[in-house]
Amino acid sequence: MFLINLREVGNSEKAYESYQLSMLETIFDLEAIRETLGYKKWGFAGHSTGGMLGVIYGIHFSSSLKFTVIVGAAARDYSTFSADCIYNPKHPQFNRMQELIETLKRSDLSAKKRNELSSERTKLSLYEPDKYHELFNLGIKKKMSAARLNYFNREYPIFDVTKKLKLISTPTLIMCGKYDVQCPVTYSFEMHEQIPNSKLVIFNKSNHYPFLEEAERFEKELIHFRNNIL
């Protein structure tokens, strides 16, 4: 398994042109990595915006993919028309989420303050927020890439690839928490209906992180999917 840091993340290459942060250009980067590693085909798994990348990857390069796993994602703008989405102004926690996002973009935050705000932001997307420390206890640290998020926010309002979903020919596993406040479950149903060779799994006690909130079942579903296609 490879965990890939995209441009402007970690020690990866920088974006020398703004378009290099686009979702389509990111897929070209992933293809370049696959070719450099010498794989004729590989599998892709992505969560949230990573899942959106998986959709685009499947549309344009199904021939390079053995399978795709899409978790808590969508094939189009998921906030404008859904009050169930925390990024929709009608959602009761919209304002606080926006405050947290903008504050976390700052480079002058102390490590302690950043951890506090990041924890609060994550709790907004948990089925049981009180389990935050139990679920996120592996010492894994991550930061928000302001450059990538800012570009995504410019690209997102016109993002809609629903009419191209039928072009995805690779086996696709779509998974989502029933109470996902970031990418509401409606959009997972939509993808499943339009991607020909897809399977949909809904986690009834999860929000945006079913791989943590219902880890045992998530692993079983993943293994079952893998065994059926390989």
Distances (CA, A) of 76 to 51, 200, 213: 11, 17, 25
Range of the domain at 86: 18-229
**Which stretch of 50-54, 58-62, 147-151, 209-213 has the lowest confidence by average pLDDT?**
147-151
The tally of domains found in the chain comes to 1
pLDDT higher than threshold 70 for residue 140: no
The structure's pTM equals 0.93
Would residue 10 count as lying in a domain?
no
Averaged pLDDT for residues 101-119: 91
- On whether the CB atoms of residues 182 and 87 are closer than 8 A, the answer is yes
pLDDT band at 107 (very low <50, low <70, confident <90, very high): confident
Would residue 7 count as lying in a domain?
no
Would residue 178 count as lying in a domain?
yes
Would residue 2 count as lying in a domain?
no
pLDDT higher than threshold 80 for residue 165: yes
Would residue 167 count as lying in a domain?
yes
- On whether the CB atoms of residues 190 and 75 are closer than 8 A, the answer is yes
Return the number of other C-beta atoms located less than 10 Å from residue 227's C-beta: 8
Interval 44-83: pLDDT, tens: 999 999 999 999 999 999 999 999 999 999 999 999 999 9
pLDDT higher than threshold 90 for residue 208: yes
Would residue 3 count as lying in a domain?
no
Would residue 149 count as lying in a domain?
yes
Residue 73 maps to which CATH number? 3.40.50.1820
218: Cβ contacts below 8 Å, ≥ 6 apart: 175, 203, 210, 211
What distance in Å separates the CA atoms of residue 42 and residue 67, rounded to the nearest whole number? 7
Would residue 71 count as lying in a domain?
yes
Q: Average pLDDT, whole number, for the chain?
A: 94
